[in-house]
Structure 1
Amino acid sequence: MSQPILGCIADDFTGGTDLASMLVRGGMRTLLVIGVPAGPIDSDADAIVIALKTRTLPAAQAVEQSLAALAWLEAAGCRQYFFKYCSTFDSTAQGNIGPVADALLDALDTPFALACPAFPENQRSLFNGHLFVGDTLLSESGMRHHPLTPMTDANLVRVLQQQTPRKVGLVRQATVSQGAAAVRQALADTQASGCGYAIVDAISNTDLMVIGEAASEQRLITGGSGVALGLPGNYKRAGLLADAACAAALPAVEGLAAVLSGSCSVATNGQVAHWRDSGKPSFALDPLRLAEGHDLVTEALGWAQPLLAQGPVLVYASAPPDAVKAVQARLGVEAAGAIVERALAQIAVGLLELGVRTFVVAGGETSGAVVKALGVEALRIGPSIAPGVPWTLSQSQAPVALALKSGNFGGPGFFTQALELAP
């Protein structure tokens, strides 16, 4: 068992696969672990990502779980650490990005970290500290309607400052464009000015490579998966990472396939509509009927069983913002989400019993519920389907292929595209 170089903590499951995919892309053999392991793991991975489900937990619980993950990664011998959150900086004034990052800095006895959620390949850019989704400010994008973490301010210096007592600074794109040495100096200057964090602009992959290189000596890095793009190069230059041309290779998986969608993001709603408009079989879960006690799990499985042999099916609870708000008004925000996650998780177990071995899952919370229900504890990361979304393979006696997609990722035809690339 070799020691990993990089230890990562992701605040949701799809965020974990997103980051892991970026590291594999850079040639790092990467293992994604679901939750904090009970003990050591025998692995040849260069990077280990611990995927938690802390994005929307009470801040104290998120901190507790994140510190437990850090302690495990430190015991595994990691040299550098990464706290991964969403590229849309999903959070509230109470956290959880600031409180978790503060706790990690304290535990690592280090005073400063950069923060860069930018991922230009997925239309997430940072300029003058403001986060854009495509050409639209975050606060004017679909994220302003997010049911749990509505993002109504695009100024990330201001957003993060609300969540931490540490002062938050900014490294502008004009500095990033000058290269890694300039960014490294700007980070040092920002720290010297009394800041505990620096939001760092990025509008291209070149910027992300520069930031990653500049962070070579940073004990803790925080951000979206994009900023990890430049990290493997640091390890190669330091002689820590061999050329791993086959880092993404996965063995073939035999069996049936299905898509499960719980995300209500604009992107996922478009993907559900594309699937339905293409004439492919789909089954809609109604949260209100679930709450009334209707056994839609059995109904969905009975519907799916005769269809699976003909091709993949979709079971979804995705809905537009107005419909989501109406359900939340009736059931409550947390209860509405929980009832859908529970149903989709139970359907996943039933589909597995029907012979499904390949799953595409849309939504971070849904992905977390599904992998837990399937008893998945660790995933080997394989080839990329789309930026931020890889195929993965469960590390178990009967392997299951899983594509765990953040709600906002992928184009309209993502479900079909993913299945065509399945191992």
Structure 2
Amino acid sequence: MLIGVIADDFTGASDIANTLAKGLPEQGGLRTVQYLGLPAQNAAADVEAGVIALKSRSIAAKAAVDQSLRGLEWLLKQGCEQIVFKYCSTFDSTPAGNIGPVGEALADALGVKGVVACPAFPGAGRTVYQGHLFVRDKLLNESGLENHPLNAMTDADIRRWLSCQTKSSVGHVGIETVRAGAHAIAAALEHAAGEQQTLVVLDAINDDDLISIGRAVADHPLITGGSGIAIGLPANFIVRGLAKGNGSARLGLEGPEAILAGSCSGATREQVEFHRKRYPTLAIEVDAVMDGRTTAEHVVAFLRENDGHAPLAFSSGTPEEVRRIQDRYGREEIAHALDQLFAKTARRLVAAGVRRLVVAGGETSGAVVSALDLGALTIGPEIDPGVPVLVSEGERSVALALKSGNFGSPDFFSKALERLAGR
């Protein structure tokens, strides 16, 4: 294994796995496998990039650090030359969040300073300029992410956000240096290391910027960022003759299908509205979940009754609706109840023969795949930017699409089911 990734949620893990498998068009990517949680066994000999998917984004910082360090230990045992700590391209965190502590802990374990921190993913509209994170033409804290039910992003200045979370000072490399090329970036990072800056925020506005950053860190043991930071990394190993550049495989499974959506993002709400005009849809009311009127059995019954018609079950709402419900029941209580509902639903669906499963929302995806205990996932073709086909190994394989809340086109759900069938 050449590149090892520690991802703080399951959709983000599939996002960066897709990036590594795809690579650059002229060279291709790496043979990539996604592991659901910390693997119990060694990786197969032909795996070139391994992505460990943790559900650590919204847990206590110490627990996230402990899990990430265990992931690092396993990846180093597999022979990884480069580690990537992957977090969301919208930097989902809080001032007391996990991104800074995990980044610092990994850097300390590897004995490095001047570590890249770049959440940019231009393909999905996320860019960094003057250390500030933008979602398309809006600052992060004006993009709707300030209403995130778990990790409200109220400040677009990533340097300031990280400074709340870290012990050492946070550096910055501006776009002028990035545009000056790999040598200039490498020199700036070396200077930051000399200044004892552990994490350094880098500007990146387009994919060419990320490719330049990738070349600059070819020999760096640790990088942190969104999935976009991995765009140029496979090429570093391919040009050295350490990898062949095979890219993602053509994968797919036929069989019964279901869609589960637990995200409240604007993109997911738009996708739900698009889908419900054309296909059978079940709205899951939080009140009914909390008082026991809606259970996994009810959701499974609806989805199975509509097999063959792209059925969707969703729990989503506007920011105002989410705040009202949270005030009534409590944020953590709602999150736990919905996670349990979707986890039990997914287990029953797969046991009943469902072979194609689309899941929207990072927390929901984490709950679902943790419940299914599928082991390693092979990375297939891309459905939409950042969302690949995933196929589990074993006798009863399942084809999955794990979508971050803000990703995907309006027709994502029906399109994903087609891609999961290899069409």
Q: What CA RMSD, in Å, does the superposition of the two structures yield over aligned residues?
A: 1.2
1:214 corresponds in structure 2 to 216
Using the alignment, how far apart are the partners of 1:243 and 1:49 within structure 2? 17
Instruction: Summarize the Cα distance change of 1:251–1:122 in structure 2 as closer, same or farther, 3 Å threshold.
Output: closer
Alignment check: 8 A CA contact 1:35 1:51 kept: yes
- Check the 8 A contact 2:251/2:389 in 1, yes or no: no
What is aligned with 1:356?
Answer: 354
Q: What is the aligned partner in structure 1 of residue 133 from structure 2?
A: 131
Q: CA deviation at 1:142?
A: 0.7
Residue pair 1:256, 1:311 contacting (<8 A) in 2 also: no
Residue 134 of structure 1: CA displacement? 0.6
Alignment of 1:154-165 (within 5 A): 154-165=156-167
Alignment-derived partner of residue 266 in structure 2: 266
- CA distance, structure 1, for counterparts of residue 194 and residue 376 of structure 2: 40
Q: Is the 8 A contact 2:114 2:196 kept in 1?
A: no
Determine the structure 2 residue equivalent to 1:333.
Answer: 331
Look up the SS of the partner of 2:407 in the other structure: coil
1:300 corresponds to 2:302: no
In percent, how many aligned pairs have the same letter? Answer: 46
Q: What is the aligned partner in structure 2 of residue 388 from structure 1? A: 386
Match of 1:15 in 2: 12
Alpha-carbon offset, residue 327 of structure 1: 1.4
Residue 43 of structure 1: how far off its partner (Å): 4.4
Asked whether the 8 Å contact 1:297–1:346 carries over to 2, the reply is yes
Aligned to 1:149: 151
Partners of 1:105 and 1:199 in 2: how far apart?
15
3-state DSSP of counterpart to 2:145:
helix
Q: Is the 2:114–2:192 contact (alpha carbons within 8 Å) kept by the matching residues of 1? A: no
Output the CA distance in 2 between the equivalents of 1:69 and 1:353.
30
- The answer to whether the 8 A contact 1:67-1:103 is kept is yes
Match of 1:324 in 2: 322
Q: Which sits farther off after the overlay, 49-58 or 354-363?
A: 354-363
Q: Is the 8 A contact 1:256 1:312 kept in 2?
A: no
Q: Is the 8 A contact 2:386 2:407 kept in 1?
A: yes
8 Å Cα contact 1:128/1:201 also seen in 2: yes
Q: SS where residue 231 of structure 2 aligns?
A: helix
Q: CA deviation at 1:193?
A: 2.7
1:249 aligned residue: 249
Aligned twin of 2:66: 64
Q: Is 2:89–2:119's contact at 8 Å kept on the other side of the alignment?
A: yes
Which range is displaced more, 293-302 or 411-420?
A: 293-302
> Which residue in the other structure is 1:227 paired with?
229
State the TM-score, normalizing by the size of structure 1: 0.96
1:252–1:123: structure 2 CA closer, same or farther, 3 Å change rule? closer
SS in 2 for 1:268: helix
- After superposing on structure 2, the runs of 4+ consecutive aligned residues of structure 1 that deviate more than 6 Å are none
Partner of 1:78: 80
Bigger shift: residues 311-320 or 411-420: 411-420
1:283 maps to 282
SS in 1 for 2:52: strand
1-side partners of 2:359 and 2:191: how far apart? 43
Shift of 1:223: 0.2
Deviations 1:8-65 (A, max 9, x none): 1000000100000000011111010011112323341100000001001000100010
Larger mean Cα displacement after TM superposition, 279-288 or 46-55:
279-288
Structure 1 residue 375 and structure 2 residue 373: aligned? yes
Q: Which residue of 1 aligns with 2:113?
A: 111
Q: Distance in 2 between matches of 1:145 and 1:110?
A: 35
Instruction: Name the CA distance, whole Å, in 2 between partners of 1:161 and 1:294.
Output: 45
Q: How many residues align?
A: 416
What CA distance in whole angstroms lies between the structure 2 residues aligned with 1:51 and 1:298? Answer: 28
Unaligned runs of 5+ in 1: none
Deviation of 1:92 (Å): 1.1
- Determine the structure 1 residue equivalent to 2:34: 32
Q: Does structure 1 retain, via aligned residues, the 8 Å contact 2:355–2:397?
A: yes
Post-superposition offset of 1:194: 3.0
Matched, 1:236 2:235: no
Describe the SS at the equivalent of 1:57. coil
C-alpha distance 123-252 of structure 1, shift in aligned 2 (>3 A): closer
